[in-house]
Structures are given as structure tokens and as C-alpha cells.
Copies of this chain bind each other. A is one copy, B any other.
Amino acid sequence: MSGVDDEAEIRGLLERWARAVHEGDLDAVLDRHSADIVMFDVPPPHRGARGIAAYRETWPGFFEWQRQGAVFEIESLDVTAGADVAFAHALLRCGTAAEFAEDAERRLRLTVGLRRDDGRWVVVHEHHSFATS
């Protein structure tokens, strides 16, 4: 199996992950993530969150911020899948109504790296950022 099937599987994986982020469901957010994940998050540390324990710690503060009524939803998603390695890039609406009132074009840019481990796709890298002037 490769190509179209893998792209569909990865698309589904990332859509479920984004929904879990929006629902603040930490177990589901972590479900398909590798022990050795490296995440470049919006805030520091500059060298990224390294390993699943550090990745896990990035989320509770985000969930708390999100509870003021922020959205977190995929607007567009592009997946490139090989037999055992894949990557995806996406644009997300991530912010509060006040933030979108100030800048309607604001989008979170997301890049994800995946590897097939023991037959299933897992996320080994995430890069989240906003453009800055």
C-alpha cells in the first residue's frame, strides 16, 4: 500500500489530531505520536520540545488559552506520502474572535513529518508558527 491510500490515512490521522486539539483531549492528541518527536512550537524553547514528555507539556497551557473561545481548525492540508516517510503542510484557523477581527488573514502554519513504524504512520516532527512582520 502506498500513494493514494497512505495520503488518505495520513489526512485522516491529522484531521482526528486537530479535532482532539480543539476538544482538549490530550490522550487523543498523543495517540499517533512517536517517543522521539521533535516539536517546534509557536513559543520557546527555541530548540524545540524534544521527546513525547516535552511534547505533552506543550498542550495544557494551550487548552487553557483555547477555552476563552478560540478555534483550531484545518483550512487546507497537503500530504506527500512515500512508502515509509511522509510529510504534510497545512494552514489552520487558530485564534479568538478578537484576533481575527484585528487580522482576518491570520493563519497558523503547520508542517508535520511522519514515519511508518511497524506498519502504522506516526508523527515524528511538528513545526507550528505564525508569520511575523
Q: How far, in whole Å, are A44 and B42 apart by their CA atoms in the complex?
A: 15
Q: Which of B43, B86, B89, B132 contacts A85 (CB 8 A)?
A: B86
B43 touches A133 (CB 8 A): yes
Contact with B along A82-113 (1 / 0, CB 8 A): 11111101010000000000000111010101
Q: Which of B46, B80, B81, B129 contacts A124 (CB 8 A)?
A: B80
B46 touches A89 (CB 8 A): no
Q: Which of B45, B84, B125, B133 contacts A131 (CB 8 A)?
A: B45
Q: How far, in whole Å, are A19 and B78 apart by their CA atoms in the complex?
A: 29
Copies of this chain held together in the complex: 2
A33 at the binding interface (Cβ < 8 Å): no
A89 touches B40 (CB 8 A): yes
The residue on B at minimum CB distance from A103 is B46
A80 touches B85 (CB 8 A): yes
A22 at the binding interface (Cβ < 8 Å): no
A48 at the binding interface (Cβ < 8 Å): yes
Q: How far, in whole Å, are A78 and B105 apart by their CA atoms in the complex?
A: 32
